[in-house]
């Protein structure tokens, strides 16, 4: 029993650490994207819209099938005045009551309606493809939202690391300044300057931590994981992607942008609408068969030769001749809608080109910014080293020492932010082509 008690006690002491480990998760960018796509409520709604479009397509196909109806009717009649006299003829005596069973069954098939059923099926099929493209577009939006939030959190975490290093260095400098003050090398004012710098950087650390919590929570929601999960992001040391020529991204956009594909499909739907409206001026032809069961005997199962079962076959040809002159404006209206679709695609194409060019230039600037910052870090590091040496030898002031250190850590933060901005700019460029995953 003692062993069981101590094991239970040991397990309880480890439980908080175990729970904390469960709430911390390290995710790569691709893992985050997979989780976001898998758990996105927007994508689940898009999938339901696709299912709805497919169901509508099946319903349209059902309209092309033959229609069939069957009915069975029972009639009971009471005839109080059952004597009927016509002129001078002998009276005709009817029964005081009568029962009859009547059944009908019919099958009808529309043979030709100007192709309207075929146009309706093709139009619904195209609209189903539009719904699928809409789902693809939403998938791109969800992916980009995850990437954007992921890089935002990455920037915060890198800034937090640099600030922590800065605080550690300031603490070391503060101890050195206090030692110099005790030795009479520097004044009390120099110590206060380092303390002020430490306080300012500590405030910056508090703001960064607050921003980290906000972005971490937003990312948890996007990924569909527990909101109290603390996401760790591994440092990305991968080389930046080399940008292809601008023309290649424009070509990709013309082929991949879901909005352009949707307008192409809607243009085809508009063409089918024109054909369907024109079909109103054509005749329709249908065939059918009817079967009747007439049983006036009054018995549910009649005796032989006391019921009849006639069968009829027929064809129906109809033509609304008035539609030849009343349908013209409807056709013109359908053509105008198709023309508007073409114009909307031209306008969207221009917008896409402008968007891609802007994103392309932004990525080029981001890459060049990294190169410049890498050079500035080398210069700031050398400047910090020289002033640290001068300060130890009481040649440089505390202000010069603090300024040099501040410039170095600011340059390091700027470099990490620039790397994250460049990565996000690249994905923004890919998003504008309609396909983030290349």
Question: Given this model, what pLDDT does residue 379 score?
Answer: 85
CA 350/CA 133 separation, integer angstroms: 20
Question: Given this model, what pLDDT does residue 425 score?
Answer: 92
CA 71/CA 298 separation, integer angstroms: 18
> Long-range contacts: 74-79, Cβ < 8 Å, 24+?
74/99, 74/100, 74/101, 74/102, 75/99, 75/100, 75/101, 75/102
Question: Given this model, what pLDDT does residue 356 score?
Answer: 94
Question: Given this model, what pLDDT does residue 165 score?
Answer: 81
Per CATH, domain 26-63+113-283+319-432 is 3.40.462.20: no
Question: Given this model, what pLDDT does residue 344 score?
Answer: 94
- pTM comes to 0.76
Question: Given this model, what pLDDT does residue 237 score?
Answer: 57
Phi-psi region of 19 (alpha: psi -120 to 50; beta: other; left: phi over 0): alpha
Q: What is the pLDDT along the chain (438 residues), one digit of tens a residue?
A: 444 443 544 444 444 444 444 488 888 888 888 888 888 888 888 888 888 888 888 887 787 788 889 999 988 888 888 777 787 778 887 777 888 888 899 988 877 777 777 878 888 888 888 888 888 888 888 889 999 899 889 888 888 888 888 888 788 878 878 887 888 777 788 788 878 888 988 898 899 899 889 989 998 988 888 888 898 888 765 567 788 899 999 999 999 999 999 999 999 999 989 988 888 888 888 899 999 888 887 777 888 888 888 999 988 888 888 888 888 898 999 999 999 999 999 999 999 999 999 999 999 999 999 889 888 888 888 888 887 788 777 777 777 777 787 788 888 888 888 888 998 999 999 999 988 865
Q: How far apart are the first and last CA of the chain?
A: 62
CA 103/CA 294 separation, integer angstroms: 6
Question: Given this model, what pLDDT does residue 239 score?
Answer: 64
Question: Given this model, what pLDDT does residue 95 score?
Answer: 78
Residue of 416, 387, 390 whose CA lies nearest to 404: 387
């Amino acid at each position: 029993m003692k062993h069981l008690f101590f094991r239970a006690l040991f397990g309880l002491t480890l439980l908080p650490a175990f729970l904390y480990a469960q709430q911390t998760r390290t995710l790569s960018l691709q893992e985050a994207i997979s989780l976001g796509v898998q758990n996105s409520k927007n994508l689940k709604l898009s999938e339901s819209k696709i299912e709805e479009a497919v169901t509508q397509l099946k319903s349209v196909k059902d309209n092309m099938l033959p229609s069939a109806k069957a009915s069975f009717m029972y009639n009971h009649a009471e005839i109080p005045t059952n004597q009927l006299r016509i002129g001078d003829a002998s009276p005709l005596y009817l029964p005081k009551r009568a029962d009859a069973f009547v059944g009908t069954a019919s099958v009808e098939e529309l043979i030709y309606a100007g192709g309207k059923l075929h146009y309706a099926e093709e139009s619904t099929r195209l609209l189903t493809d539009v719904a699928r493209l809409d789902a693809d577009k939403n998938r791109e939006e969800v992916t980009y939202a995850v990437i954007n939030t992921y890089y935002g959190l990455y920037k915060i975490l890198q800034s937090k690391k640099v600030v922590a290093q800065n605080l550690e260095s300031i603490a070391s400098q503060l101890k050195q300044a206090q030692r110099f003050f005790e030795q009479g090398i520097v004044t009390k004012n120099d110590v206060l300057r380092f303390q002020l710098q430490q306080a300012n950087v500590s405030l910056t650390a508090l703001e960064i931590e607050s921003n980290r919590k906000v972005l971490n929570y937003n990312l948890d929601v996007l990924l569909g994981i527990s909101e109290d999960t603390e996401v760790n992001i591994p440092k990305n040391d991968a080389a930046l992607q080399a940008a292809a020529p601008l023309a290649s991204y424009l070509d990709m956009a013309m082929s991949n942008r879901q909005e352009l594909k949707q307008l192409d499909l809607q243009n085809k739907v508009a063409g089918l609408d024109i054909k369907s409206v024109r079909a109103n001026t054509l005749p329709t032809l249908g065939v059918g068969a009817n079967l009747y069961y007439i049983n006036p005997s009054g018995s549910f199962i009649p005796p032989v030769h006391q019921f009849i079962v006639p069968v009829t076959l027929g064809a129906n040809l109809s033509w609304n001749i008035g539609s030849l002159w009343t349908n013209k404006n409807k056709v013109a209206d359908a053509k105008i809608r198709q023309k508007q679709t073409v114009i909307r695609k031209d306008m969207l194409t221009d917008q896409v080109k402008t968007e891609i060019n802007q994103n392309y230039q932004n990525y080029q600037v981001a890459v060049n910014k990294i190169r410049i910052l890498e050079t500035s870090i080398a210069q700031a590091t050398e400047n910090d080293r020289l002033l640290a040496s001068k300060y130890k030898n009481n040649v440089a002031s505390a202000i010069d020492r603090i300024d040099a250190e501040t410039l170095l850590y600011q340059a390091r933060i700027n470099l990490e932010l620039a790397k994250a901005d460049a990565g996000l700019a690249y994905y923004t460029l890919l998003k504008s082509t309609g396909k983030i995953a290349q």
